[in-house]
Amino acid sequence: MTIASTSNPKVKAWASLQEKKHRDRLGQFLAEGPHMIAEALACGAAVRAVVYDEQRGLPPELEAPLRQRGAGIELVAASRAVLAKCAGTDSPPPAFAVVDKPAADRSALWRERGLVVVLDGVRDPGNAGTIIRSADAAGADAVVLGKGCVDLFNPKVVRSTMGSLFHLPVIEGDLAELLPEARSRGMKLAGTSLQAARGLYECDLTEPTWLLLGSEADGLSALSLGQMDYGVLIPMKGRSESLNVAMAATIVLYEAMRQREF
């Protein structure tokens, strides 16, 4: 199939996925670029369509994954104008995929010696996506986005994960319900804080741990602070007042990996 017009009904539906209300209504989101599409295909995500630039042709790196997973996936060659309308970037990618939102697998939250990253009011899409990527790299079991966080399927979040969105469960949930349940199941709730009394290298991160991270502007909410077992202070030798939340998450996650694996 080839689509040249931006007025095509399919194009209008794909372009609407830039907005959360339409992602929620349709239960779908966009994965932009050949790398993201290949990761979605490799991980068994429900890819409904792959749309590519008719002038450039199908990206070569997608040929093998589509041969393996191509049954039932609509392939569409589209004009550059169509890709520009649907993509959330100034320079449209050579291809994008329309993907069904995955069902949340909450069983990953309760694994023995589990390590779960919890975002509390993190609204910056680049930070949220980077934290998901770091959680994947450090071997975390899952990531939780509480109410007030950026939408998981915001195109900027999806791009920032660099495919990690498809590698581990990422769950949107209500921390008012999840945090007490985590404590009742024996999880330790540790939150990063500049006022914490316990330094990072004094913490036992081999225990089943939920790492709580708040926004840079507001920190952790009163709800999270009330449920937290202890605060974690990242030591700093220089004069910087604080760290970017994604950088702080990465440092703590890699210390947890060091303690658990090395």
Regarding the domain with residue range 106-261, which homologous superfamily does it belong to in the CATH classification?
SPOUT methyltransferase, trefoil knot domain (3.40.1280.10)
User: Does residue 69 register a pLDDT over 90?
Assistant: no
What is the per-residue pLDDT for 189?
Answer: 97
β-bridge mates for residue 162, sequence order: none
Residue pair 258/204 in contact (Cβ under 8 Å)? The answer is no
Q: pLDDT band at 1, cuts 50/70/90? A: confident
pLDDT of residue 80: 93
pLDDT in the model for residue 168: 95
Residues 6 or more apart in contact with residue 246 via CB below 8 angstroms: 126, 127, 130, 131, 134
Query: 16-50 b/e with 16+ CB inside 10 Å = b?
Result: ebbeeebbeeeebbbbbbbbbbbbbbeeebebebb
Give the model's confidence band at 89: pLDDT under 50 very low, under 70 low, under 90 confident, else very high.
Answer: confident
Report the distance separating Cα 226 and Cα 220, nearest Å. 10
CATH 3.30.1330.30 fits 2-100, yes or no: yes
- 139 contacts 258 by C-beta, under 8 angstroms: no
Q: What is the pLDDT of residue 207?
A: 96
Per-residue model confidence as pLDDT tens digits over 4-26:
999 999 999 999 999 999 999 99
Which stretches of the chain are DSSP H helices? 9-16, 20-26, 34-42, 63-69, 80-86, 125-137, 155-161, 175-184, 222-227, 245-261
Average pLDDT of the segment spanning 224-239: 93
Q: Which two tokens stand for residue 32?
A: 């932009």
Per-residue pLDDT of 46-56, as tens digits, reads 999 999 999 99
Q: Check: pTM over 0.85? Answer yes or no.
A: yes
102 by DSSP, 3-state: which?
coil
**In this predicted structure, what is the pLDDT of residue 70?**
66
Note the pLDDT tens digit of each residue in 126-168: 999 999 999 999 999 999 999 999 999 999 999 999 999 999 9
Amino acid found at 183: R
Q: Where are the domains positioned within the chain?
A: 2-100, 106-261
